[in-house]
Amino acid sequence: MREKKKMDLGSLRELLLIGVVIILCIIWTIMNPQFISMNNVTNILRQGSYTAIAAVGMTMVIIIGEIDLSAGSLICASGLVGAMVCKSTNNVVLAVSAALLVGVVVGGSNGVLCAVGKLPGFIATLASMTVLRGLAYIITGGNSVVWTNEAFTKIGTGYVGIVPIPVIIMLVVIIFGVFLTSKLRFGRYIYAVGGNMEASRWSGIAVVKVKIIVYMIMGVLTSIAGLIVVTRLGSGQPSAGQNFEMDCITAAVVGGTSMSGGRGKIIGTVVGVLLLTVLTNGMTLVGINTYWQQVFKGIIIVVSVLADTHTKKN
């Protein structure tokens, strides 16, 4: 009995957020019936897909008590590398592999700087954020990169039946994230390291390895998101993905992940992404300008975290 009660309390937050999403949907539909059209719903899912994919990784990074500021730059860099390889070889497999490799390398080096070099994750990824953005401009000379291979373009724009490919990728990533954090031994280690790094080490957990792997997962997921972004845009832009990391962090925080580590759920983050995407999409549809959109986003962050801290107290 008690266990059941506690479970309910744990998922109460997600239910509450879903409630807010539904209310928002109703409001937008009343204001503009276009909102609930098949076209727009698909659009929302596609808009949310790449944020959700990277936010799954970001949630894990935040759970181990760190942060990744380089996500936006990596979205750009991995997309660019994919686009350039596709342009010169016309081989989709090579292009995708190259982009993912960039993710592994960047994530890995973030992890090594943080776990072995003992740099705070904030600093390590602040540095890689800056370096990657600089490199993106150097390599492209500030110009966009275009390719002709249509199969590559399909990653971001294609459909399987009526479901956009990015949405399918997103679902796979979410399932992977939920499985890893709740069903795998490694998932426990993530929470343990974030809860108390020293106690984890004293319990025989290879803290350094856990941190590096989590950053690498983050890197790979971000470069998947980068591939979707670049193929949706149709060209590699050295300015792509600005402030993208903040969207991921916002989704995680709104979804209940604690910035001090040790607490958070993938599903919470996914609902967080959904909430933010529905909010932005609806506001655009009913004609609220982007500046006001930012104001509302900010308010949502404060309200959701306040609500969280107060439910915890009770």
Partner 1 sequence: MSEVVVKMEGISKSFAGIKALDHVQIELCKGEVHALMGENGAGKSTLMKIMTGVYTKDEGFMYLRDEINGEMRQIEIKSPLMAQKLGLSMVFQELNLLENMNIGENIFIGREPVGTATMIDKKVLNEKAKKELEKVKLDINPSTSVSSLSCGQKQCVEIAKALSFDARVVVFDEPTASLSETESRTLFEIIRELRNKGVCIVYISHRMEEVFELSDRITVFRNGTYIDTVETSKVSEADLIKMMIGRDLEEGKKKGSAYINKQKTVLSVRNVTIFPNSSPISFELHEKEILGFFGLVGAGRTELSRAIFGIDPIGEGEIYIQGSKVHINCPRDAMDVGIGLVPEDRKGLGLILGMSIKDNMLLSKLGQLKSRILNKKVLKEITGTYIDDLGIVLRDENQEVKELSGGNQQKVVIAKWLAMTPDILILDEPTRGIDVGAKSEIYTLMRKLTEAGKSIIMISSEMAEIQKVSDRVIVMHEGNITGELSIEEATKNSIMQAAFGGIKA
Q: Least distance from C-beta 116 to partner 1, angstroms?
A: 14
Of 200-259, binders to partner 1 (CB under 8 A) are: 200-206
CA distance 297 to 300: 5
Structure-block tokens of residue 201: 């080490």
Q: Least distance from C-beta 181 to partner 1, angstroms?
A: 11
Q: Which is nearer to partner 1, 108 or 195 (CB)?
A: 195
Q: Least distance from C-beta 103 to partner 1, angstroms?
A: 23
Locus of tokens 């960047």 = 106
Which part of the chain contacts partner 1 (CB under 8 A), choosing from 2-10, 78-86, 139-147, 302-310?
A: 2-10
Q: What is the DSSP letter of 145?
A: B
Please identify which residue in 36, 37, 183, 303 interacts with partner 1, judged by CB under 8 A: 183
Can you spell out the DSSP letters for 207-256?
Answer: HHHHHHHHHHHHHHHHHHHHHHHHHHHTSB-TTTTTTHHHHHHHHHHHTT
Q: Which is nearer to partner 1, 65 or 156 (CB)?
A: 65
CA distance 222 to 54: 5
Q: Least distance from C-beta 314 to partner 1, angstroms?
A: 9
Please identify which residue in 118, 141, 162, 198 interacts with partner 1, judged by CB under 8 A: 198
Which part of the chain contacts partner 1 (CB under 8 A), choosing from 147-155, 182-190, 241-249, 271-279?
A: 182-190
Q: Which is nearer to partner 1, 181 or 281 (CB)?
A: 181
Which part of the chain contacts partner 1 (CB under 8 A), choosing from 135-143, 177-185, 228-236, 292-300?
A: 177-185
Q: Least distance from C-beta 8 to partner 1, angstroms?
A: 12
Site membership for partner 1, residue 262 (CB under 8 A): yes
Write the burial class of residue 31 (CB in 10 Å: 0-12 exposed, 13-18 middle, 19+ buried). middle
Instruction: With CB under 8 A as the rule, give the number of residues binding partner 1.
Output: 25
- Closest by CA position to 249, among listed 74, 28, 63: 63
Q: Least distance from C-beta 211 to partner 1, angstroms?
A: 15
CA distance 62 to 241: 20
Which part of the chain contacts partner 1 (CB under 8 A), choosing from 75-83, 161-169, 192-200, 289-297?
A: 192-200
For the CA atoms of the chain, what is the radius of gyration? Answer: 20
Q: Which is nearer to partner 1, 121 or 262 (CB)?
A: 262
The amino acid sitting at 276 is: L
Query: Rounded to a whole number, what is the distance in angstroms from the first to the last CA of the chain?
Result: 20
Q: Least distance from C-beta 41 to partner 1, angstroms?
A: 35
**How many residues are present in the chain?**
314
Site membership for partner 1, residue 196 (CB under 8 A): yes
Structure-block tokens of residue 8: 């309910």
Q: Least distance from C-beta 74 to partner 1, angstroms?
A: 28
Please identify which residue in 189, 216, 232, 253 interacts with partner 1, judged by CB under 8 A: 189
66 neighbors 121 (Cβ within 8 angstroms)? yes
Residues 6+ apart with CB under 8 A from 233: 156, 240
User: Coil, strand, or helix at residue 2?
Assistant: helix
Which residues contribute to the site for partner 1 (CB under 8 A)?
2-3, 6, 183-189, 191-192, 195-196, 198-206, 262-263
